[in-house]
Structure 1
Amino acid sequence: MAAATVIGIPAGLALLYVTPSGVVTFGLGAFLIAYGGYCLIKKSLTATAERPLLHGRGWVLPFGFASGVLGSAYNMNGVPVVVYGTLRRWHPERFRGTLQAHFLISGVLVVAGHALGGLWSKESLILYGYSLPAILLAIALGSYFNKRIPAAKFDRYLYIIIMALGVLLLFPHSSSLSN
């Protein structure tokens, strides 16, 4: 999986450079809707299956490649790995170990690819700094709600929010408010 991910990283960076931002944003929106929908139905999908839905080991290549592309284009490299592991019916220990190793390898390579690709700028680092309070607030709110909402409902609400964000990305936004 790691080798296919490494091949996918430059493809995701190229996607960012050659594809108009509106197309990339629309693709991300569609992806979020598909992922949220998948997460909502994955338990029933895997519960009805008597054995893993992906039998051949060859499936690791497209999922690994997709992880590289999505990681370098959208910083969502884990989604294909989670989908692959779910469809292969990995045990929790294998899931955890695979995700940790995968995130370490792909995360370092994606960050290096972004830096080498010129995606880091003074402005982007400043904007990131400005976003930190919102990120910290979101973490605190997530922890607060996670403790007060039963896990199954929390997950369901989270996936619905992910899908709603995806829907919002499907519609073009104007950069200025009209009077």
Structure 2
Amino acid sequence: MGIEFLAVLVAGAFAGGVVNGLAGFGTALFALGFWLQVLPAAQAVSIVVVMSVVSGLQGLWVVRGEIRSNPGRLARFLLPAVVGIPLGVMLLSLVSATMLKIVIAAFMLLYGGFFLARRSLPCFERSTPVLDSLIGFAGGVLGGAASLSGALPTMWCAMRPWPKGETRAVLQPFNVVVLGITALFFLLNGLYTPQTVLLMAIALPVTMIGAHLGLAIFHRLADDQFRFLLIFLMFTSGAILALREML
């Protein structure tokens, strides 16, 4: 492992950890933007799911009260997601590294555009259990395929009139459970080779430091500041990744 390789590995681990600590999701969106430059798609995704789960455990403690106050809402998202995970794992073997990079860049740009337009979008105040379940299922598929389980649930939850803490009380445990199960599938499929475990051992401490920093920022941000930071991070990283692929 050269210096440049280690620098990319550490940068991705730190970026993913900060975003997970800050928003409760997004480890894959930011870490894979770095790691897919130096690692095969399957190996990069297998590492990032573990990083997502471990860094997400800190966030679970922060919103433990909100999780206990409405467990049924979380279940509507989470149970269908468990069904979708195996399908996503099967799709992973069919996705090339280039295609995965393009998908990740598109999600980053879509996220940014979504939050820019959020105030003009409808606000669903009534209960929507069927739509919640469908979103959860799609999140499970994306989690198994590319560790992107939080993408669609985040967009959907942002359209609900829930405070920041309640939104995170859905997204954080959703991602931890979905990606934890995904990691078990990867383990059974033999993706955690000695080299992959070594890379995880290097990335994990950096991810935890980043997640701790992200949590500290989360507590200090107002809602408007939080939204602006997400928009900036999504557009900047997505545009850079998309530009690299087009060039």
Settle same-fold status: TM greater than 0.5.
yes
> Is the CA contact (8 Å cut-off) linking 2:107 and 2:151 kept in structure 1?
no
Check whether the contact 1:67–1:78 (CA below 8 A) recurs between aligned residues: yes
1:130 matches 2:183: no
Moved over 3 A (4+): 53-57, 88-101, 136-151
Does the Cα contact within 8 Å between 1:69 and 1:77 map onto a contact in 2? yes
Between the two proteins, what is the percent identity of the paired residues? 24
Mapped partners of 2:177, 2:98: distance in 1: 30
The 8 Å contact of residues 72 and 114 in structure 1, kept in 2 or not, is answered as no
Look up the match of 2:104: 28
Alignment CA distance shift 1:84-1:25 (3 Å): same
Distance 1:120 1:83, change over 3 A: same
CA distance in 1, matches of 2:83, 2:216: 39
TM-score, normalization: structure 2?
A: 0.55
**Residues 20 and 92 (structure 1 numbering): CA distance in 2 closer, same or farther, change over 3 Å?**
closer
State the match for 1:45 in structure 2. 120
Q: Which 10-residue stretch deviates more, 52-61 or 21-30?
A: 52-61
Cα distance between partner residues in 1 of 2:167 and 2:220: 27
Larger radius of gyration, structure 1 or 2?
1
Decide which of 76, 79, 86 is 2:158's aligned counterpart. 86
Q: Is the 8 A contact 1:13 1:113 kept in 2?
A: yes
2:191 aligns with: 119
- Equivalent pair of 1:13/1:117 in contact (CA under 8 Å): no
CA distance in 2, matches of 1:147, 1:56: 29
The answer to which of 132-141 and 69-78 deviates more is 132-141
> 5+ residue gaps in structure 2?
1-76
In the alignment, structure 1 segments of 5+ residues that lack a partner are 175-179
- CA RMSD of superposed structures (Å): 3.4
Alignment map for 1:1-179 (pairs within 5 Å):
1-42=77-118, 44-46=119-121, 49=122, 52=124, 56-90=128-162, 95-99=167-171, 101-132=173-204, 134-136=206-208, 138-139=210-211, 142=214, 152-170=224-242, 171-172=244-245
How many aligned positions are there? 170
1:27 shift after superposition: 0.7
Shift, 1:97, TM fit: 4.4
